[in-house]
């Protein structure tokens, strides 16, 4: 029981290490092409040669090594050698005889990957190869048919060299990028007829082997280079110029009064508006004209009210910072009525004039060309 547990523990550890190595190797494989590559393989198994005699059991071990490569994910080729020992059979009416000899079977094989041939990808972890090839079979060191039965002749003397034709299939499982496990079954048509002496037909030899293949000489995938091109673009823009000119500025404010009043009503708003105008203009002049309504008082009293209204308006402007030299003030009593509505004629009309430097914006559509580099891929 302890031995079984130890075996299970070792197998589990080996499987875990193999899975980790496969995951790391699969990540590294992204940088390499699935083909071309070279490989070297070792296999071992058993072979049997079919005869016309059911009572002759001709099964012996066989071993193989191969060297080859896959030129594309579908097509590959290899030089394959297998052999070790074999048994031949001889039978007549009175005697069944077997004899041992050594052999080496060499083949040049074409390999077709059926999975990538019919699949949509260039790489799969499990593949099936169809194998076909031709080569030579060499046999030597032939024993006596039966040492104890000296009347049987030797099958042949010396070394025998004959042709071979092969067809087979291999199941290959990639353990990692460089290593795979495979199971292969081949049928070889041997031309020596060493087991079919009576009917003179070629012999059929069946091989079943399991092995490991080491794959190497992978090529890295080319690094995709960024491709840039240059084009000429047309860029439209506004060509802006400014034309200077002088603009006449004029603004008027009306300050209305109640009956018999001459105080400057709501001075803050009025003075702020006047100040903004004077700041934006040059060579300014301010004129103040004050009036009284004709339906109140008499001409003498109304003249006095209009005078007071002008004087107080001037004082308010000067107190606010307006230069006295640019102010002119007049008063007309009720001799002039600027408005049709009587109550509006109790008024001071303040008018400011000045010059303002302005620039008119002129835009003309123009275009220019420029080279632009852009990424193609």
Residues 292-328 have pLDDT tens digits of 999 988 999 999 999 999 999 999 889 888 899 999 9
Please determine whether the domains at 27-216 and 238-363 fall in the same fold group of CATH.
no
- At residue 58, the pLDDT reads 78
HEC profile for the chain?
Answer: CHHHHHHHHHHHHHHHHHHHHHHHHHHHHCCECCCCEEEEEEEEEEEEEECCCCCCCCEEEEEEEEEEEECCCCEEEEEEEEEECEEEEEECCCCEEEEEEEEEEEEEEEEEEHHHHHCCCCCCCEEEEEEEEEEEEEEECCCCCCCCCCCCCCCCCCCEEEEEEEEEEEEEEEEECCEEEEEEEEEEEECCCCCCCCCCCCEEEEEEEEEEEEEECCCECCCCCCCEEEEEEEEEEEEEEEEEEEEEEEEEEEEECCCCCCCCCCHHHHHHHHHHHHHHCEEEEEEEEECCCCCCCCHHHHHHHHHHHHHHHHHHHHHCCCCHHHEEEEECCCCCCCCCCHHHHCEEEEEEEEEEEEEEEEEEEEEEEEEEEEECC
| Domains of the chain, residue spans | 27-216, 238-363
The span from the CA of 343 to the CA of 294, in Å, is: 9
- At residue 291, the pLDDT reads 95
Q: Considering only the top CATH level, what class is 238-363?
A: alpha beta
Q: CA 193 from chain center: how many Å?
A: 62
- At residue 130, the pLDDT reads 97
- At residue 78, the pLDDT reads 96
Domain at 27-216: CATH architecture: Beta Barrel (2.40)
Q: What is the pTM of this model?
A: 0.55
- At residue 154, the pLDDT reads 62
Burial class (CB in 10 A: 0-12, 13-18, 19+), 324: exposed
Question: Of 322, 314, 245, which Cα lies nearest the Cα of 277?
Answer: 322
- At residue 201, the pLDDT reads 65
Burial class (CB in 10 A: 0-12, 13-18, 19+), 48: middle
- At residue 59, the pLDDT reads 85
The span from the CA of 145 to the CA of 235, in Å, is: 99
Which residues does the chain have with pLDDT short of 70?
1-29, 51-57, 89-97, 143-157, 192-201, 266-267
């Amino acid at each position: 029981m302890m031995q079984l547990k130890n075996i299970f523990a070792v197998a589990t550890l080996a499987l875990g290490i193999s899975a980790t190595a496969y995951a790391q190797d699969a990540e590294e494989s992204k940088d390499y092409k699935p083909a071309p590559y070279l490989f070297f393989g070792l296999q071992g198994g058993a072979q049997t040669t079919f005869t016309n005699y059911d009572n002759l059991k001709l099964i012996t071990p066989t071993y193989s090594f191969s060297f080859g490569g896959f030129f594309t994910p579908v097509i590959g080729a290899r030089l394959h050698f297998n052999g070790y020992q074999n048994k031949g059979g001889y039978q007549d009416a009175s005697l069944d005889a077997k004899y041992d000899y050594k052999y080496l079977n060499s083949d040049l094989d074409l390999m077709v990957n059926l999975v990538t041939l019919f699949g949509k990808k260039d790489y799969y972890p499990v593949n099936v190869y169809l194998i076909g090839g031709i080569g030579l079979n060499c046999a030597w060191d032939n024993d006596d048919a039966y040492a104890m039965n000296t009347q049987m002749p030797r099958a042949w003397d010396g070394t025998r060299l004959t042709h071979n034709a092969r067809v087979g299939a291999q199941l290959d499982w990639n353990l990692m990028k460089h290593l795979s496990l495979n199971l292969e079954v081949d049928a070889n048509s041997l031309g020596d007829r060493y087991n079919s002496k009576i009917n003179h037909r070629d012999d059929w030899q069946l091989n079943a082997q399991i092995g490991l293949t080491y794959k190497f000489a992978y090529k890295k995938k080319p690094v995709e280079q960024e491709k840039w091109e240059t084009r000429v673009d047309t860029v439209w823009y506004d060509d802006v110029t400014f034309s200077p000119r002088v603009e006449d500025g004029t603004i008027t404010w009306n300050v209305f009064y109640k009956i018999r009043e001459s105080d400057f009503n709501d001075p803050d708003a009025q003075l702020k508006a006047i100040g903004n105008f004077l700041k934006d203009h040059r060579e300014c002049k301010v004129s103040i004209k004050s009036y009284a309504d004709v339906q109140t008082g008499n001409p003498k009293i109304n003249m006095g009210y209009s005078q007071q209204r002008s004087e107080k308006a001037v004082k308010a402007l000067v107190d606010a910072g307006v230069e006295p030299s640019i102010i002119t003030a007049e008063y007309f009593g009720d001799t002039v009525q600027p408005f049709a509505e009587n109550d509006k004629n109790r008024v001071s009309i303040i008018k400011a004039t000045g010059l303002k430097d302005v620039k008119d914006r002129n835009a003309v559509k123009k275009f220019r060309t420029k080279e632009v580099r852009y990424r193609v891929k």
